[in-house]
Amino acid sequence: MMSINLNLITAFSLALAGVLIYRSHLMSTLLCLEGMMLSLFVLMALLISHFHMFSASMAPLILLVFSACEAGVGLALLVKTSTTYGNDYVQNLNLLQC
C-alpha cells in the first residue's frame, strides 16, 4: 500500500511541476491539472477503501464530477482563446490589459 501511495504522490507532484513549468500554454496547463485531479481521485478512493471509511465513499465521485466540469470549462476557454487570438498562450487571458 505504501508504494502505491508513494507513486500517486509522485504523480501528483510531477503534474504540479508540469503546471509550474508549462504555464505559458493553456493546453499543457489543463493536461497537468487533469493529471493532478486523477491522481487525487485514485488516492482518495484507495485511502477510503483501505481505512474502511465507507461513509465518505461519495467524495471521490464528487471530486471526479468537479474535475469533469473543470475540464469542460477549460476546453471551452481554450477554444475561445484559440479562435480569438490564434494561439493558446495564457498571457492572452489577462483581463487587466488596456
Q: Is residue 90 within 8 Å of 30, Cβ to Cβ?
A: no
Q: Which domains does the chain have, with CATH numbers?
A: 2-93 (1.10.287.3510)
Greatest extent of the chain over all pairs of C-alpha atoms, in Å: 55
Digit-coded pLDDT (tens) for 38-97: 999 999 999 999 899 888 889 999 999 999 999 999 999 999 989 988 888 888 777 666
Decide: 22 and 29 in contact? Cβ < 8 Å.
yes
C-alpha cell belonging to residue 28: 499543457
Q: Which H, E and C letters describe 65-98, residue by residue?
A: HHHHHHHHHHHHHHHHHHHHHCCCEHHHHCCCCC
> What pLDDT score was predicted for residue 64?
94
Rg (C-alpha) for the chain, rounded Å, is 16
